[in-house]
């Protein structure tokens, strides 16, 4: 369920216990959470808990609500040269050079019908990505276009082409202080060309030119996403803990928070168990794909 409250898009998820949050909450400023909570209650929003996250540049907890620390992947920025020479590991630095030598061309584009079609082709390459289900697989063009049409006034698309074929893209959205890597994907069949490394290098260059304090690349990850975590580490990202708050909107929400439902069970699990679970998930997803294709 989606709605707009106080000019902000609110998304409600969950079946029995419903949780509300701002769409694109990481880069949508929330100066007065108490005001928004009161408006949610006045609007009789069908949600039991409202959760919001503090800015990655303001990490000291300052609100009197139940809190848990989110782990975010953050790349502190000064200049592109500082990142390239001091923070980038040798392997990804060589990968950037490899991408340019292999004929990958990096462009800056606005959202257009040809770009949407190219993005859909990337999404449709495989139903499984990093062992997880690809939720964008076989989406229709209108759905893909809608998903990438938000915040265009403060976003930039960076694209990678090989022989005039779109083989990767990134969408970075800017707040007053940071850049946020919202979408980042490349074709598996062109992995040998280091497309992702070339795209990320251009994203960092753009953010540095805009004097952004940092680049945020989603949550840090866990044992189940080791490859992605290793990619972030090699490219200079750090694990930063940011306060996430939970506000009860109903009596059910109050009981749930007192019972500790907001406390992550996954964070408390040992790495070996997460990795085992990730392997099982990957095996199950691959089995489903083979069965569907049979």
What digits encode the pLDDT tens for the residues 239-255?
999 999 999 999 999 99
Tell me, yes or no, whether 220 lies in a domain.
no
Tell me, yes or no, whether 12 lies in a domain.
yes
Q: What is the pLDDT of residue 89?
A: 92
Distance CA 60, CA 159 (A): 36
Domain boundaries, position 65? 2-69+243-293
Contact 120, 112 (CB under 8 A): no
Which residue numbers in the chain have pLDDT < 50? 223, 265-266, 269-270, 272-274, 277-278, 284-287, 289, 294
Q: Is the same domain home to 103 and 136?
A: yes
Q: What is the pLDDT of residue 287?
A: 46
Q: Is the same domain home to 123 and 85?
A: yes
Q: Is the same domain home to 85 and 177?
A: yes
Q: Is the same domain home to 109 and 58?
A: no
For the segment 203-231, what is each residue's pLDDT rounded down to a tens digit? Answer: 999 999 999 999 999 999 754 567 789 99
Phi–psi pair at 171, nearest 5 degrees: -120, 120
Which residue among 212, 235, 268 closes a domain?
A: 212
Whichever domain contains 199, its CATH number is: 3.40.630.30
Tell me, yes or no, whether 147 lies in a domain.
yes
Tell me, yes or no, whether 238 lies in a domain.
no
Q: What is the pLDDT of residue 137?
A: 87
Q: Is the same domain home to 60 and 84?
A: no
Q: What is the pLDDT of residue 144?
A: 95
**Who's near 174: CB < 8 A, 6+ residues apart?**
27, 154, 155, 156, 180, 207, 210, 212
Contact 121, 168 (CB under 8 A): no
Q: Is the same domain home to 100 and 194?
A: yes
Domains in the chain: how many in total? 2
Distance CA 180, CA 282 (A): 28
Q: Is the same domain home to 151 and 48?
A: no
Q: Is the same domain home to 252 and 187?
A: no
23-48 CB burial, b ≥16 within 10 A, e <16: eebbbeebeebeebbeebeeeebebb
Tell me, yes or no, whether 229 lies in a domain.
no
Tell me, yes or no, whether 155 lies in a domain.
yes
**Who's near 73: CB < 8 A, 6+ residues apart?**
216, 217, 218, 219, 220, 221, 232, 237, 238, 239, 240
């Amino acid at each position: 369920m989606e709605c707009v409250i106080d000019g902000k898009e609110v998304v409600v998820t969950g079946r029995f216990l419903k949780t509300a949050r701002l769409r694109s909450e990481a880069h949508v400023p929330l100066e007065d959470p108490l005001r928004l909570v009161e408006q949610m209650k006045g609007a009789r929003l069908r949600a039991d808990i409202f959760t919001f996250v503090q800015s990655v540049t303001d990490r000291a907890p300052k609100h009197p609500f139940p809190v848990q620390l989110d782990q975010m992947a953050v790349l502190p920025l000064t200049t592109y040269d500082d990142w390239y020479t001091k923070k980038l590991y040798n392997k990804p630095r060589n990968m950037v050079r490899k991408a340019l030598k292999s004929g990958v061309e990096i462009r800056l584009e606005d959202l257009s019908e040809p770009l949407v079609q190219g993005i859909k082709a990337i999404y449709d390459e495989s139903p499984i990505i990093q062992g997880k289900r690809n939720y964008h697989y076989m989406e229709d063009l209108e759905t893909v276009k809608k998903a990438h049409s938000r915040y265009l006034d403060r976003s930039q698309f960076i694209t990678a082409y090989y022989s005039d074929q779109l083989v990767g893209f990134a969408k970075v959205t800017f707040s007053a202080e940071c850049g946020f890597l919202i979408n980042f994907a490349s074709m598996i069949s062109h992995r040998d060309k280091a497309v992702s490394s070339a795209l990320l290098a251009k994203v960092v260059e753009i953010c540095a030119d805009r004097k952004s304090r940092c680049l945020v690349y989603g949550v840090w990850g866990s044992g189940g996403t080791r490859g992605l975590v290793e990619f972030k580490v090699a490219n200079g990202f750090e694990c930063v803990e940011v306060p996430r708050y939970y506000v009860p909107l109903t009596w059910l929400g109050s009981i749930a928070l007192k019972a500790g439902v907001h406390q992550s069970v996954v964070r408390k699990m040992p790495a070996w168990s997460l990795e085992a679970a990730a392997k099982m998930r990957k095996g199950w997803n691959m089995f489903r794909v083979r069965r569907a294709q049979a």
